[in-house]
Amino acid sequence: MSDDFCLDLKVRDYECDLQGVVNNAVYQNYLEHARHEFLLARGLDFAALAAQGVFPVVVRAELDFKRSLRPGDEFRVTVRCEMEGRIRVIFWQEIHRREGDLALMARIVATVLDSRGRPKIPEGLIEKLVGNRR
């Protein structure tokens, strides 16, 4: 989608396993880094939210691996966000190699916990995350 947030990255050698491909766990790092940059781009600082007693947390991660990334590959991580119900935030993410090949599709389900550990999305946060799309 044209309104997806995009972050360009490059595979570092140490992120690969003995088979010469990016280790599966590393993809989670790529996705999380892109989500944090997505938040910053919308004026939401992860550390500042925590200091205010607002704790975004992942409750489910569904990753579909399509094609392996290799050392030196340049790639783009996209992030699109929408609400599911009143307390669940869905991050739709994809990783594409620079050549355009789809490497991974992900559906990350998150919520926001208050300082007592209860799900509660503060007023104004939804609009910053999803804009007019609900």
Per-residue pLDDT of 82-132, as tens digits, reads 999 989 999 999 999 999 999 999 999 999 998 899 998 888 888 888 876
CATH code matching the domain that covers 5-130, chosen among 2.60.120.480, 3.40.190.10, 3.10.129.10, 3.40.50.12280? 3.10.129.10
Q: Is 114 a catalytic residue?
A: no
Q: Provide the pLDDT for residue 66.
A: 97
Catalytic residue among 8, 17, 45, 101: 17
pTM value is 0.91
Per-residue pLDDT of 34-72, as tens digits, reads 999 999 999 998 888 889 889 999 999 999 999 999 999
Residue with tokens 């489910």: 60
For residue 101, give the nearest of 128, 131, 70, 123 by alpha carbon: 70
CA dihedral 36, 38, 42, 45 (to 10 degrees): 10
Any idea where the domains of the chain sit in the sequence? 5-130
